């Protein structure tokens, strides 16, 4: 009897997995995987810890000239981002948000990634929120996009995911200074982060993003805007 129970249990489990696998759009999953790769490749090249060997591989793979691999890299990335966004917009027009139930993981994050790197966050933020609430992608990704939109509007962010850099002059020397953009409810931000699915406090997150020597400071919006305006002069 026990053997029969386990046989039935595993049969139901396997059939359930088959049904789930059948609902995945394999062709779309592959397309999104390539878009994700295209989104990341120039950003990978720019990372300071990317090895010279890997940079050579990217130059060969993307057939970059010496100029494109140096001063022209930002332009190439912008062109790629625009191409990726056009593809994602066509996919969204046809399927809605291509989430977990349609393409599985990790490709359910690709459309979010491309929109996050685009000038159309405000347009697609409601779609991203809906997908997150329906568990088609992690809620923390919506939280990051919401923060980015708020920061672009020069407003306080909610989850402390966005940083900005400014050039300052000290003792006659110009240096780059990074700050975590002001947080609306700093006292409760780590609780909000935990509820959204972040695994780190805002302080640990900042050091992971900006380096272990980064000293976190909770700026007011007024202070941050003063830094920003001074930087524009």
Counting Cβ atoms within 10 Å, is residue 133 exposed (0-12), middle (13-18) or buried (19+)?
A: exposed
Pair of tokens at residue 115: 């929109």
Counting Cβ atoms within 10 Å, is residue 16 exposed (0-12), middle (13-18) or buried (19+)?
A: exposed
Extents of the domains making up the chain? 23-137, 139-233
Q: Region 182-186: what's the mean pLDDT?
A: 98
CA distance 173 to 152: 28
Helix count (H) and strand count (E) of the chain? Answer: 11, 2
**Model pTM score:** 0.86
For residue 169, what pLDDT is reported? 78
Entry field: residues in the chain: 233
Counting Cβ atoms within 10 Å, is residue 23 exposed (0-12), middle (13-18) or buried (19+)?
A: exposed
Counting Cβ atoms within 10 Å, is residue 147 exposed (0-12), middle (13-18) or buried (19+)?
A: buried
Which is more confident, 192 or 172?
Answer: 192
Q: Region 182-192: what's the mean pLDDT?
A: 99
- % of the chain at pLDDT higher than 90: 83
CB of 182 within 8 A of CB of 155? no
pLDDT tens string 59-100: 999 999 999 999 999 999 999 999 999 999 999 999 999 999
CA distance 144 to 160: 8
pLDDT tens string 1-32: 556 555 554 554 555 454 456 699 999 999 99
Q: Which residues contact 163 (CB under 8 A, 6 or more apart)?
A: 178, 179, 180, 181, 206, 209, 210
- Tokens 């996919």 sit at which residue? 91
Please determine, for residue 159, whether its predicted confidence score (pLDDT) is greater than 70: yes
Q: What is the average pLDDT value for the chain, to the nearest integer?
A: 92
For residue 11, what pLDDT is reported? 52
Helix (H, G, I), strand (E, B) or coil at 162: coil
Pair of tokens at residue 226: 């003063």
For residue 7, what pLDDT is reported? 55
């Amino acid at each position: 009897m026990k053997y029969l129970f386990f046989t039935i249990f595993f049969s139901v489990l396997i059939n359930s997995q088959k049904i789930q696998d059948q609902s995945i759009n394999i062709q779309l999953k592959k397309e999104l995987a390539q878009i994700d790769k295209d989104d990341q490749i120039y950003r990978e090249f720019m990372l300071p810890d990317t090895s010279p060997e890997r940079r050579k591989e990217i130059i060969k793979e993307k057939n970059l000239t010496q100029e494109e691999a140096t001063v022209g890299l930002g332009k190439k990335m912008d062109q790629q981002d625009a191409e990726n966004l056009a593809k994602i917009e066509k996919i969204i027009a046809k399927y809605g948000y291509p989430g977990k139930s349609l393409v599985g993981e990790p490709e359910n994050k690709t459309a979010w990634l491309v929109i996050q790197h685009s000038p159309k966050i405000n347009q697609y933020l409601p779609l991203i929120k809906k997908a997150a609430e329906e568990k088609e992608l992690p809620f923390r990704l919506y939280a990051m996009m919401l923060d980015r939109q708020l920061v672009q509007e020069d407003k306080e962010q909610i989850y402390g995911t966005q940083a900005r850099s400014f050039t300052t002059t000290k003792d006659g020397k110009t240096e780059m200074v990074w700050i975590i953009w002001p947080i609306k409810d700093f006292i409760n931000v780590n609780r909000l982060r935990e509820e959204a699915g972040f695994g780190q406090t805002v302080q640990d997150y900042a050091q992971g993003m900006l380096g272990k020597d980064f000293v976190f400071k909770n700026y007011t919006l007024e202070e941050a805007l003063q830094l920003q305006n001074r930087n524009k002069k």
